[in-house]
A and B are shown apart, each in its own frame.
Chain A
Amino acid sequence: MEDNMQDNLSQSGIVAAPPPEKPKGKPRRFNCPSCGGTITLKAVGLSVHAVCSSCSSVIDTTDENYRIIEAAHQNTQKTLLDIGTRGRLKGIEWEVIGYTDKTDGLEMYHWDEYLLYNPYYGFRFLVQESGNWNFVKVLRRDVPGAGVSNEIVFEGQKFALFLRGEAVVQYVKGEFYWRVKKGERTFVADYIAPPRIISVEKNNEEINISLGEYIEPGDIASAFAIREKMPDKTVVAPNQPASAQDGYRNMWLVAAAAFALVLTVQFTTMATADNAEVYTNSFIVRPPQKGQTIATASFNIPKESNVLIQTSSQIDNEWLELDLSLIDEKTDKAYDLKQAIEYYHGYDGGEHWSEGSQSAESYLSKVPAGNYRLLVDMDSGAFEKNGGVLLSMAIRRDVPNWSNFLLATASIFIYPLFALFKRWNFEKNRWSESDYTPAIYRINEEED
């Protein structure tokens, strides 16, 4: 996972493989013209703007007299990563040099943006919202349709529009390579292709497009040696990858292979089954025989196999119940089962209807080889009505059936289907925060 992210970031230019030439200039210290506190400028020659960590005054670092742009306006806000904190992320050491706290236009959603700096690699951002983190680099090229279209393509990958809105700066500290101040508003649009996200920020003067990649909070905690509890994830992030994507794909491959094997076993069984009839007969049961047990003639089952007992009767708007016992003549072992035949029909409300059937069938498993008889106890409402009941019976052995196959297939697919539902639910939660939810994830919204 880490390697894949590294590769993706490298391809995107977020992590450059060979280090570029280090820019000239050492960190410069100067005193805040407002409170006298010491300010250390890390990105000398690049930063245009610093916020005093002591009094929060905003200072123009391009002015040789360190002109105050904005006087102290607020108390210093505690942040998870302090200015000056260093950490190794994606194999490169970064230092936190700036922080902005932003909200949407309605101040419903808050997020933190940490500006990172490395003298060889320049600037990156770490963005934290609702416990989810992104490692972000500003792109130095245009992405056609960004901010306007509902879908954009970057490096051959499609990114779907997730949100359009406004970002408002609520708090700043540290130094910045652009001029930033509290209350500044920008138009924002986010496009996602998890785990990547493209963000567009636009104001009257400029447009910035950046590429971010999702990072697990644990990786941030390790990189910057954060000992405090990381913010809990409270929502699915727009570009949060579903867990174990490769495993999920491979699971369906395994399921497909297993299903192919199950099909092969089933068709082989069907092709090689004897499916032989060992007994067949029809007889009429008269009312005096009601309550008596009828025994069939002896028949032979040559080897252990399943047995299918099929019965049928031409009953009409009547019922028939059968207690059957297959008896091994040598061992007297009995295999008992019940069958019910019910068939009703009529004409009601201008329509013909019918229910039930005039036949029934039952399987017996693993019946050993031997000579057998079938005992039949029968009761039926047709005895009184018709003066007798015609019963037809057929017994077959080694009959192909589908029930084992269906159980095996259900067993194979139950877990992948559960995982599929879980994934759908994950995506539904992701898109629940968006105004551009694809139709497939909108089911509950319409009910609400």
Chain B
Amino acid sequence: MDLHQLWTIISTPDNVPIVMLLFVVPFYSWYALRQAFANDRLIEQLEADPAMAKTHHRKVQPYRPEWSREVHVWPFLLRIEFLAAIIVTVILVVWSITLNAPLEEPANPTLTMNPSKAPWYFLGLQEMLVYFDPWMAGVVMPSLIIGGLMVIPYIDANPLGNGYYTFKQRKYSILTFLFGFIVLWTSMIVIGTLIRGPGWMWFWPGMTWDHNRLVFEVNRDLPDIFGIKSGIMKSLFGGFVVTLYAIACGIGVHKLITRTPFNRKIYGRMSLVQYITMQVFMITMIALPVKIILKLLFRIKYVWITPWFNI
């Protein structure tokens, strides 16, 4: 266990946000879910007791009938926001005094730093380069991420869950978000920052980042495993496998969103365009962990090889 190495990585001013991320993101996820579950219990209660539902005028816990139905923004909301603003300001001031942004040595065109890392918020993208070819990881995927985030309001056919935390009523959306943000995005940033060392090699926390380290790892393409040699055959085979995956994944997603009667109701509200858009983004998103597994566990570099792009 190389504690010195561990400390060097954790204490680098650039990496401090990532270390905070490690604790803060799970905490707030848990905190939000706790509230959501509490609300879900209330919803259950109200659904079971129509009399109570009639008089009940708050969607959140705790609740007493004599409490006012609505409160003013000023002062009841703003004072909390004000307090939060003060706390954040104090944290930022102390942070900026104690940790300086590192200005490194002058760039040397004949010498590339190793590991050479992007700013922390781009490290998820950089990590993606390990699994996809640069065109996919650098251009297509980021565009899809932005596009996907933009279409969310337009494909969301679920009218419930506005203005209060709930899990039960938005299970599908919340799980998709948790999967996409925490599992994929945040963890890839954490991997890129804390795990990837010299040569972009995988170093478990506490391992020495040794520049002399050598690992034996031969990557192969999926068609190679099946002994396919010619370029055209590789393209066709890859296309076939990818299509197969898309179909399978599409079916899986469809199964998922039509599992419960509530979900089926939502599904019924969706137009064809909404449904297809959602399917495209879901299939693409799920492709990422699939590819990560293929790469890390089976050392498969590409599945589909064409002269123009590789997947």
Asked if A and B bind, the verdict is no
Residues of B within 8 A of A (CB): none
Residues of A within 8 A of B (CB): none
